[in-house]
Chains A and B, each alone.
Chain A
Amino acid sequence: MFDTLSDKLQGVFSGLRGRGKLTESDIDQAMRAIRLSLLEADVSLPVVKQLTSAIGARARGAEVMTSLTPDQQVVKIVNEELANLMGGTTVSLPISPHPPTIVLMAGLQGSGKTTCSAKLARYYQQQGRAPMLVACDVHRPAAAEQLSVLGAQLGVPVHREDGGSDAIGIAQRGIAAAKRSVRDLVIVDTAGRTVVDEAMMSELVGVRDAVHPTAVVLVLDSMTGQSAVEVAEAFQEAVQFDGVILTKLDGDARGGAALSVRAVTGRPIFFVGTGEKIDALEAFHPDRMASRILGMGDVLSLIERAQQNVDVDTAKDLEKKIMGGGLTLEDFLDQLRQIRKMGPIGQLLGMVPGFRNATKGRDLAIDDRQLDRVEAIIQSMTAGERRRPETINGSRRQRIARGSGTSVQEVNQLLAQFKQMRKMMKRIGKGGLPPVLGT
């Protein structure tokens, strides 16, 4: 995410790098490039102006002009201003001290409210809460059915009323049902609406007034363009939302909406949706996002995901084996699966600092399908073969290739890579870093 903005800003700064002191026109040039990048990233025009003037004023100050590393200073300033604009600290969804907590979902058509409702339910279910979903979208065909299917997948009860057209009544009865069955979190899904549709907006206000939500959440598509600010302002005026969930951030949307909405409405971003799977919902960290925009990677998120997904005991076991040079293909398969649990490989690599730069212009050939093939090859081996890959001769290779639907070359390639990896591991174990990694 945000690739292009990172690329652009880095382009600007590499131009400044290594030239020592800055001139006024250097700063102007940098500001123009930053402005263009932000506009191309769909940051709304008024916010771009506000941001560039703040950055410009600071960049012309002594801290940059007299600095020996002006480029780093500018990076620091942009980073700080972006983080500032996005709200500085992480804000979480408010939970009511008197359950149930009621969350009202609102947004345009197709922004992802229904999917997000289910993701939220799952998120809080993981934290030990007892959520309930209420299907108040009486307009889109089969919207209630969609929520029911998702609820069933999660084992979360869904209140729906077929054939009804009274969103307010459904919401009220849904809350009542939740109280009866002692659920402590109620997520009310509503129909998508455009901000100029007065009847629909007043329906939303009606639902809000009927259920007295703990929080009203605006669901916003991260691909939204310049209209993000107007949309946010209109919902703000109508229902005073408390925060935002930014969806579809796993694509290549540059996500300028994230920058704009907070700046204009003063409301925080609670969560970001990062994938098709129902657990692809993450807390939003403004500071990390700023680093990410600047192409500085997001190591913290990566570590967090690793902690959620990697089993500590297995990892320790593996460490011993690596150090002793006793790594088998079985361990390798385990390891591969653990990593893949953390998410699509391309997304993970995007979080590694400097990775974007290192791969710039080159087609990143690592995709999940290739890893599928690796898994298939290893799974087509016998247990003995996995433990002692050196026993795999020509006819075994042919069998493995057939069994995994790959070619002998691919099997050869995997075995060669594994052999080399094992060699390297042994050397690390002995304390001598191989020259490649040591430099």
Chain B
Amino acid sequence: MSEDSDDRARWAELFDIALPPIERDQATRRRGLFSRLKDNLTKPRQAISPQLAGIFAPGLITRETWDDLEEALIAADCGMDAAVALVEELRAEAQLGRIVNRDEIASGLTKAVTRQMTPEPPRIPIGADPTVILVVGVNGSGKTTSVGKLAYRLSELGQQVVIGAADTFRAAAIDQLAIWADRSGAQLVRQGPGADPGAVAFDAVASGTARGADVVLIDTAGRLQTQHNLMEELRKVHAVVGKANPDAPHETLLVLDATTGQNGLSQARLFGAAVPLTGVIVTKLDGSAKGGIAVAINRELGIPVKLVGVGEKLEDLQPFDAAAYAEAIFSPTPTG
């Protein structure tokens, strides 16, 4: 089966959109989704893999093995707490005799992380009229690009998309989004720079409803989670969206740069305190990014990862798959 229809089926599954029966039948259950994600992920993994490769090399497990594993997890940005917890989990299995050799640690680790991070495939059901998705995050995390790519995917699946350009602060953010709207054929709801972001968000939802759109995507300005006033503004945008449609927003997604370290926890906590988060988009999980912070956030706050961006290309934003993610992070041998 071609990779394209593969892709299409996975996105349809994420959005709960029915594909024509012929296409659906072609899609197999697991769809070899490792391929693309892992292709993208394994190359950059080289930075951590040698370290883990040493740990996973055949041989008896010693005290040092566990210490090394803990260090490797910290070096992957999992954070102290998640690293200690994961090591404890594996040690317990070792005591039960399920893990004897070091080369079994790799699969044990993948399983443990998969168990923790939503073993079920993530969903962003597109069913409401329209489904409203609010996208939030710190400066430079990749909100606008993610909104653009989502719009493109949804349009491809035959959904009518309205984009609300509620980042009225950053210079040229609206122009950037306009280019994405153009590419995807989505309609852009915009006002001038410096306009009230709440008003733009309201207009977008109202206009989406009036036009009978399927999805309204709302891009917001980047803000550091400690900026009280800007977080209050975000709270207001969220509330205003609710005024336009009492069920909205149906999804509020936090965009998280995969190179982020332990500050990611603070981001998830404080954004979550301002607006109820339904999921995380991990972006830029390429290059030297570790991505372990998503494991820490999921462990501590239980917010599921729903999408992963592994590169700059349009097709590099993918629905999240816990097993592929874990395997890619901790894979001892790059497939390249």
Contact = CB atoms under 8 A, between A and B. Distances in A.
A196 B141 contact: no
B287 A39 contact: no
Given A112-B140, A142-B179, A253-B263, A226 B170 contact: no
A252 B142 contact: no
Interface of A: 36, 39-42, 44-45, 108-112, 139-143, 145-150, 153, 194-197, 221, 223-228, 230-231, 234, 248, 250-254, 256-257, 276, 346, 367-369
A110 B139 contact: yes
Contacts of A368: 228-229
B286 interface: yes
Contacts of B172: 142-143, 145-146, 148-149
Nearest to B228: A367
B71 A221 contact: no
A141 B141 CA distance: 15
Contacts of B180: 141
Contacts of B267: 223
Interface in B164-221: 169-173, 175-176, 178-180, 193
Given A111-B140, A226-B77, 12 more contacts: A40-B262, A45-B75, A110-B141, A110-B284, A140-B145, A148-B172, A195-B288, A227-B287, A228-B259, A250-B224, A369-B229, A369-B232
Query: Which one of A140, A148, A196, A252 has the greatest number of beta carbons of chain B within 10 Å?
Result: A196
A147 B140 CA distance: 15
26 contacts: A39-B74, A40-B262, A42-B262, A109-B312, A110-B140, A110-B141, A112-B139, A140-B176, A141-B148, A141-B175, A142-B172, A146-B173, A148-B172, A196-B44, A196-B287, A221-B140, A224-B261, A226-B76, A226-B77, A227-B47, A231-B287, A248-B224, A252-B224, A254-B262, A368-B228, A369-B232
B290 A146 contact: no
B87 interface: no
Nearest to A256: B261
B43 interface: yes
Nearest to B141: A110
B176 A225 contact: no
A224 B229 CA distance: 24
Contact of B79 (A40, A108, A153, A248): A40
A141, A142, A225, A256: residue with the most chain B Cβ atoms closer than 10 Å = A225
Interface string B126-139: 00000000000011
A224 B260 CA distance: 5
A367 B145 CA distance: 32
A83 B179 CA distance: 46
Contacts of B176: 140-143, 145-146
A347 to B, nearest CB: 10
B224 A39 contact: no
A356 to B, nearest CB: 14
Nearest to A46: B75
Contacts of A230: 47, 288
B311 to A, nearest CB: 8
B241 to A, nearest CB: 22
Contact of A251 (B224, B259, B287, B312): B224
Contacts of A231: 259, 287-288
B80 interface: yes
A346 B226 CA distance: 10
Q: Specify the main secondary structure of chain A where it touches its partner.
A: loop
B261 to A, nearest CB: 3
Contact of B284 (A108, A153, A346): A108
A110 B255 CA distance: 12
Which of B175, B179, B229, B293 counts the most chain A CB atoms within 10 A?
B175
Q: Which 9 A-B pairs have the closest CB atoms?
A: A225-B261, A110-B140, A194-B287, A42-B261, A146-B172, A149-B171, A251-B224, A142-B176, A141-B179
A150 B170 CA distance: 9
Contacts of B138: 223, 248, 251
B318 interface: no
A223 B47 contact: no
Contacts of A224: 259-261
Interface in B39-82: 43-44, 47, 71, 74-77, 79-80
Nearest to B170: A146
Contacts of A140: 145, 176
A225 B259 contact: yes
B161 interface: no
Contacts of A197: 286-287
B5 interface: no
Given A145-B172, A225-B293, A252 B225 contact: yes
Contact of A225 (B47, B71, B170, B260): B260
Contacts of B259: 108, 221, 224-225, 227-228, 231
Nearest to B286: A194
Q: Which of A42, A257, A368 counts the most chain B CB atoms within 10 A? A: A42
A145 B193 CA distance: 13
A110 B170 CA distance: 13
Contact of A39 (B80, B141, B179): B80
B289 interface: yes
Nearest to B221: A276
Contact of B257 (A143, A148, A221, A251): A221
Q: Of A42, A109, A149, which is in contact with the most chain B CB atoms at under 10 Å from its CB?
A: A109
Contacts of B288: 194-196, 227, 230-231, 234
A50 to B, nearest CB: 14
Most buried by B among A41, A252, A254, A367: A252
Contacts of B76: 226
Interface string B117-160: 00000000000000000000011111001001000000000000
Contacts of A110: 139-142, 257, 284
The CB with the most chain B CB atoms within 10 A, among A41, A141, A195, A367, is that of A141
Contacts of B232: 369
A355 B74 CA distance: 31
B251 to A, nearest CB: 22
B26 interface: no
A237 B150 CA distance: 35
A47 to B, nearest CB: 11
B321 to A, nearest CB: 21
B35 interface: no
A296 to B, nearest CB: 21
Contacts of A41: 262
A13 to B, nearest CB: 20
B333 interface: no
